[in-house]
A and B are shown apart, each in its own frame.
Chain A
Amino acid sequence: MPWIPRGLREGIVTSPYPRRPDGYDPGFFGHVEVEPSVGDTAAARAAAGACPTGAITIAPHPGRVQLDRGRCILCGRCVDLAPGTFRADRGFETAAFRRAALVVPSGEPDDAELAEARAQLARRVRGLRRSVHVRHVDAGSDGSEEWEIAALTNPVYDVQRLGVFFTASPKHADLLLVTGLGSAGMGDPLRQTFDAMPEPKVVIAVGADAASGGMVGEGYAARGGVAGWVPVDVFVPGSPPSPFGVLHGIVAAVGLLGSRPREGAPDGAGVPGTPR
């Protein structure tokens, strides 16, 4: 059998993440950072006008610039137009527990809360030894998110080393990865899948499309995200998110397993950010 020595010859290619940071290629554009001290400038206004998904808002007073990563498709126009305000960054740890938390920099002076969330995240990462079964449902993606989720089983990400397994049956699933902008035809199949999962269960919306509809947004067949159909616990921004971004979302979400059981369906269709 030539395959076994072939496999061994490759050596270890698996990422150390999340135990240690991964030195992913420097060119990779993971998210946009907003420099809070610059504020309202002509360049920032030009960037807001040029944003294809309307992700940038500038509050009149005190002229604060905010970016909604749930809408951002990482086209980089704002970085080109207002480099003092927007910076292309390579980090991928951008998953958030609330839809509203994808808007950066955050509105409220809740640094303590953020620090606590980060600390919780760290504790959750340490608790990743358990076995987590993942079910994926495509609710109207463009097909790219599926590539990035499927990449999690390649030897670089190899999520099985973390006790994360993909499962075909929703009845075995702890975690639901939902991709896509909420295409009208997928509402019922998605809800049925969610309903078939046993408690406790966690929902991750993967990608800007799942958070906001992304570049397509809303229309006769597009529902502007999946939060109206299933209660989303973690949002992973990106168009699409990188496999590391999805992995970060899973790692963050796994901390939620074992917490209090959820009661029933989402409260109100399409309401962004339902903190629980």
Chain B
Amino acid sequence: MTAGRDAHPAAGEGDRDRPAVQAIPFAAARRRVRDGARFCGLVAIPDQAGGGGGLGLFAITSDDGELAFEEHRPVDGAYATLTSDVPAADWYERRIHDLFGIEPVGRQRPEPLVFPVPPGARPPLAAGGDPSAALAPDPSPTPAHVHGEGVFTIPYGPVRSGVFESVEYLVETSGEDIPHLRTRIFYKHRGVDARFVGLDVDDGALLAEREEGPASVAHALAFSQAVERMAEAAVPVAAQLVRVVHAELERVANHLDTMVRHTEAAGQAVAYAVLSHHKERVQRLRARLCGSRFGRGVVVPGGVRRPPGLSPHGVLSEVGELQRRIDQDVQRLMDTPSFVDRLRGTGVLSSDDARRFAVVGPIGRASGEEEDVRMSRPYGAYERLGHRVARRVEGGDALARQRVRMDELDGSFHLVRQAVDMLAELGETGGWRAAIPPVSGRAVGWTEAAQGELLSVVEARDGRLAHVTQRSASFHNLAAYGSAFPKDIFTDVAFIEASFGLSIAGAAG
């Protein structure tokens, strides 16, 4: 696997010569995680497009911003589980088990996660499976985890009480507290990754946007950067700057969305009206820049489809006004005790748990995991722009996550202003899009989405996509959700969910 300057294609070189059955897979990844590296994911790449035949598993780790990949080829559809050394691999192993039927040996039989294959059926992407044949997931609940007198399980979802994405939480409780919560995301698994196969890279970017609507720009950007790396294409500086503008406005909209949901849960009617109006203003500004309220269709492999629909001066004045109003109102919110009291001490994710799940993004930053790949592994124009990691906040609770996002709002506005200033100085030299020849190979792209680090693993042959995994921050982080209820009761759930700010679409795939 190539990943530009960060490639470590032979991380497990010594293991290759020995018989795979006896070697402990991912020895290097295990060692790196033990020594403090962050686990970023485990990705299955089949040899034949769309599944079937053999496959390679790639463990991805990051150490001081440096990405490393280690491949292991399962033998007879099984491999020794990573979770014994890397607990954060849990959801990845379950996902790969559901979709490819590859068995992690040495752990309890993995509970289904993204797609509980019905008894007797073959996993959709397994050898001999047919990814186009309709399958119905088996929703039967798995056995409860908590036992004791008066403990029962409440299923909450998948149809929610309000305008939410579908997800089911199985809450095991004896009353008010939440000793155990299981997140069942398979209801809205769409099999998006499998649909990339055979598309050209331009269509791939449009599909990537639909992995996770609220993070459309981040997905298109990570995917496009993987393709550009493969093509060794130089994206025009102007296009890189435009990408920053769209990506940062997407972050602003997402962070505001979490705050809007907080005010709704707290019953702060005026604050809800004011903040949801700000979010609407941001969405309208995005539409004026590119025609789409979600920044869709603007990031394409090679650059951007078109320059912003507003002059630099127009963007600066809009953004300045937005920031001024948002600052004032969010500050007012933080001065409202009946609001802050609902967040303080709510949904604490301990730094130990954050470390264990290798949590990324604002949730991680509120619990001591500070990495922001805009700085640790800068991409595109971020290398040219002045930026800092969000201020350190303590606590790991919903209030800490809110504070991180407030700080990130400032950072995003600052980045937008810098990018627009530089764009104005550049004029229009260099064009907006580099040509992308028909690409072959494998590459990885990454972005810091509003939800956290997003990875795009892309394999292509002669310009057609052979495999794509969009590893969203929502998938990676949602695994930690069940650990954020140490002292909380049912009425806190709305705040904890909002303060995580994740998209179920991005997690379920």
Contacts and interface: CB of A to CB of B under 8 A. Distances in A.
Interface of A: 2-4, 6-7, 10, 13, 24-29, 52, 73-76, 88, 136-151, 153-156, 166, 168-170, 180-181, 183-190, 192-193, 209, 214-223, 239-240, 242
Contacts of B273: 7, 10, 154-155
Interface of B: 115, 124, 130-137, 139, 158-159, 161-166, 186-192, 194-195, 202-203, 206-207, 209-214, 216, 257, 268, 270-271, 273-274, 276-277, 279-280, 283-284, 287-294, 296-297, 305, 309-310, 329, 332, 335-336, 503-506, 508
B24 to A, nearest CB: 33
Given A27-B287, A88-B291, A155-B277, A183 B189 contact: yes
Given A3-B268, A189-B159, 5 more contacts: A76-B305, A142-B210, A142-B212, A146-B163, A186-B188
Contact of B207 (A136, A181, A187, A216): A216
Contact of B287 (A28, A146, A222): A28
A218 B132 contact: yes
Which of B216, B284, B332 counts the most chain A CB atoms within 10 A? B284
A3 B505 CA distance: 35
Contacts of A148: 293
A219 B187 CA distance: 15
Contacts of A144: 213-214, 216, 294
A26 B284 CA distance: 10
B294 A240 contact: yes
B156 to A, nearest CB: 12
Contacts, number: 209
A220 B294 contact: no
Contacts of A151: 276, 279-280, 283
Nearest to A29: B291
Contacts of B139: 185, 188
A134 to B, nearest CB: 9
Which of A24, A155, A187 counts the most chain B CB atoms within 10 A? A155
12 contacts: A10-B273, A73-B296, A74-B292, A137-B159, A140-B190, A147-B213, A151-B280, A151-B283, A155-B273, A185-B187, A185-B188, A219-B195
B276 A25 contact: no
Contacts of A28: 284, 287-288, 291, 293
Contact of B332 (A6, A166, A221): A6
A251 B240 CA distance: 42
Nearest to B194: A219
Nearest to A155: B273
A185 B289 contact: no
A267 B265 CA distance: 40
A140 B187 CA distance: 8
Contact of A240 (B212, B213, B279, B508): B213
A193 B161 CA distance: 12
A3 B271 contact: yes
Nearest to B130: A220
Given A3-B271, A216-B195, A219-B191, A242 B163 contact: no
Contact of B206 (A75, A184, A223): A75
Contact of A180 (B188, B206, B287): B188
A180 B504 CA distance: 12
Nearest to B185: A185
Given A138-B164, A220-B194, A10 B291 contact: no
B277 A220 contact: no
Given A150-B163, A166-B163, A239-B296, A215 B270 contact: no
A52 B207 CA distance: 9
A75 B305 CA distance: 10
Contacts of B276: 151, 153-155
A214 B210 contact: yes
Nearest to B289: A27
A169 B162 CA distance: 9
